């Protein structure tokens, strides 16, 4: 279905005829703004690639770090890397040139890859959330590295099966310049609309609904456990207790420490979820409007809306490494170690000296030290 201007010229085309839309009347942004956004987008590519690569390198180089949760985080980072490399540079070029210069077939392929890597990232975040729910609420820690690898393989297969129909032509894909990237376009076909609803539902609405339920259960359990531990320890004097009582109080203190760590780890996952929701909610609504609303799809503000929501959706791949650097000490240390020696501000402390300064960093291996 094409949109026509008042002069009768078609400025929205499908990939079926492989033509591109003229820039006039398409509501494109001004040249300085497009160039500025393209530069910012390329900076996001660099930050997203380097930041997520650190996660993958940590898990790959250190066998002790290959726990189930770390394998999931590495897979999430890898999906963001592929999204940064396979989609973002072409969107930046299209922003600068205001036209798609990579062919109609690659346009449809880029749209399929975009949804493929997004679906995989969402699936991994959903798996991590459910794993935290089982550990904290159900007290079941059944996810080992072997099962995690199997689940990761299944998630890749499912993401491919959901995204590949757009490559096969099940729905209309809009060729720029009306959008800075090949996006879903307006269609009146029932099958095309049903596929888009399933695609957007699998990429955002269904996972978000499940994760919201899981996080609500986790928050309730953490609050209930914190109140119980506080009530048990309140008013007890360690010096007046017998040996058995002191041991009991020490065990309660250890439960409190473990609870504190689990809360901190859950908080990091919750921040990732909030960032994903804020980055992807506008794009999900935009995709549905593009397919179901001819007025929105043919409006002069379509290019501006496309640019904004696509830029925000790409921000997710940059957001995750920033959260890791903020919340995870191991990640910060690994970033410093991976820097070239010429960029180190302080000399590296030898391992033998670090043992003497802080023996616990070497001889104590707790759950928080085994996670990325």
The structure tokens 């010429």 sit at 342
pLDDT the model gives residue 62: 80
Q: Is the separation of the CB atoms in 117 and 110 below 8 Å?
A: no
Q: pLDDT per residue over 128-176, tens digit each?
A: 999 989 888 888 888 899 999 999 999 999 999 999 988 877 777 876 6
CA angle 93, 319, 287 (to 5 degrees): 60
d(C-alpha 123, C-alpha 158), whole Å: 9
Confidence (pLDDT) at 21: 41
Residue 225 clears pLDDT 80, i.e. is over it: no
Q: What pLDDT band is residue 58 in, cutting at 50, 70 and 90?
A: confident
Contact 130, 167 (CB under 8 A): no
pLDDT at 117: 95
Q: What value does the mean pLDDT take over residues 185-195?
A: 89
pLDDT reading at 203 higher than 80: yes
- Give the other-Cβ count within 10 Å of 234's Cβ: 7
CA-only gyration radius of the chain, Å:
25
Report pLDDT digits (tens) over 301-314: 888 888 889 889 99
Beta bridge partners of 10: 4
DSSP-assigned letter for residue 112: H
The yes-or-no verdict on residue 372 having pLDDT over 60 is no
Q: Which CATH number fits domain 31-364: 1.20.1070.10, 1.20.120.450, 3.40.30.10, 1.20.120.1770?
A: 1.20.1070.10
Q: Is the pTM above the cut of 0.85?
A: no
Domain boundaries, the chain: 31-364
Spatial CB neighbours of 74, under 8 Å, sequence gap ≥ 6: 55, 56, 58, 59, 60, 372
3-state secondary structure of 181: coil
Determine contact, residues 88/44, Cβ cutoff 8 Å. Answer: yes
Closest CA to 321 of 64, 90, 44: 44
Q: How far apart are CA 273 and CA 126, in angstroms?
A: 9
Above 80 in pLDDT, residue 355? Answer: no
The whole-chain average pLDDT of the chain stands at 78
Average pLDDT over residues 65-81: 91
Quick one: tokens of 298? 């043919």
Please say whether the beta carbons of 205 and 284 come within 8 A.
yes
Q: In this structure, which long-range contacts are made by residues 235-242, counting pairs with CB atoms below 8 Å and at least 24 apart in sequence? A: none
d(CA 57, CA 74): 9
Residue 61 tokens, joined: 């180089």
Place of tokens 């928050």: 219
Question: CA 203 from chain center: how many Å?
Answer: 11
Residue 66 has pLDDT above 50, yes or no: yes
Percent of the chain with pLDDT over 70: 72
Give the C-alpha separation, 284 to 369, whole Å. Answer: 37
Burial class (CB in 10 A: 0-12, 13-18, 19+), 277: middle
Instruction: List alpha helices for the chain, DSSP H.
Output: 31-61, 68-86, 88-97, 104-136, 145-167, 190-200, 206-233, 243-292, 294-297, 302-327, 329-338, 351-357, 360-363
- State the DSSP string of 252-263: HHHHHHHHHHHH
């Amino acid at each position: 279905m094409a949109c026509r201007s008042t002069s009768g010229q078609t400025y929205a085309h499908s990939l079926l005829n492989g033509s591109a839309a003229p820039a006039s009347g398409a509501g494109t942004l001004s040249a300085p703004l497009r160039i500025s956004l393209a530069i910012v987008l390329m900076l996001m590519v660099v930050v997203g690639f380097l930041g997520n690569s650190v996660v993958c390198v940590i898990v790959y180089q250190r066998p002790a770090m290959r726990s189930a949760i770390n394998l999931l985080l590495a897979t999430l980072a890898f999906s963001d890397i592929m999204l940064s490399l396979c989609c973002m540079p072409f969107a930046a070029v299209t922003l600068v040139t205001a036209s798609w210069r990579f062919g109609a077939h690659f346009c449809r392929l880029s749209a399929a890859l975009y949804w493929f890597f997004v679906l995989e990232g969402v699936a991994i975040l959903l798996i991590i959330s459910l794993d935290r729910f089982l550990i904290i609420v159900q007290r079941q820690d059944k996810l080992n590295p072997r099962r995690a690898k199997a689940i990761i393989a299944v998630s890749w297969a499912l993401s491919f099966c959901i995204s590949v129909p757009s490559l096969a032509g099940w729905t209309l894909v809009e060729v720029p310049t009306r959008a800075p990237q090949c996006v879903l376009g307006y269609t009146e076909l029932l099958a095309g609309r049903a596929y888009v609803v399933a695609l957007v539902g699998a990429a955002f609405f269904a996972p978000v609904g499940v994760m919201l339920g899981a996080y609500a259960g986790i928050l309730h359990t953490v609050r209930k456990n914190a109140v119980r531990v506080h009530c048990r320890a309140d008013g007890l004097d360690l010096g007046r207790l017998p040996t058995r009582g002191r041991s009991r109080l020490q065990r309660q203190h250890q439960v409190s420490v473990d609870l504190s760590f689990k809360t901190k780890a859950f908080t990091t996952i919750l921040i990732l979820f909030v960032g994903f929701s804020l980055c992807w909610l506008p794009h999900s609504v935009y995709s549905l409007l593009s397919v179901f609303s001819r007025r929105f799809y043919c409006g002069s503000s379509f290019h501006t809306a496309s640019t904004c929501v696509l830029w925000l959706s790409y921000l997710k791949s940059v957001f995750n490494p920033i959260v890791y650097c903020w919340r995870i000490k191991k990640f910060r240390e690994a970033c410093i170690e991976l820097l070239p020696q010429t960029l180190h501000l302080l000399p590296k402390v030898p391992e033998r000296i670090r043992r003497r300064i802080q023996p616990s960093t070497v001889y104590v291996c707790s759950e928080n030290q085994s996670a990325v």
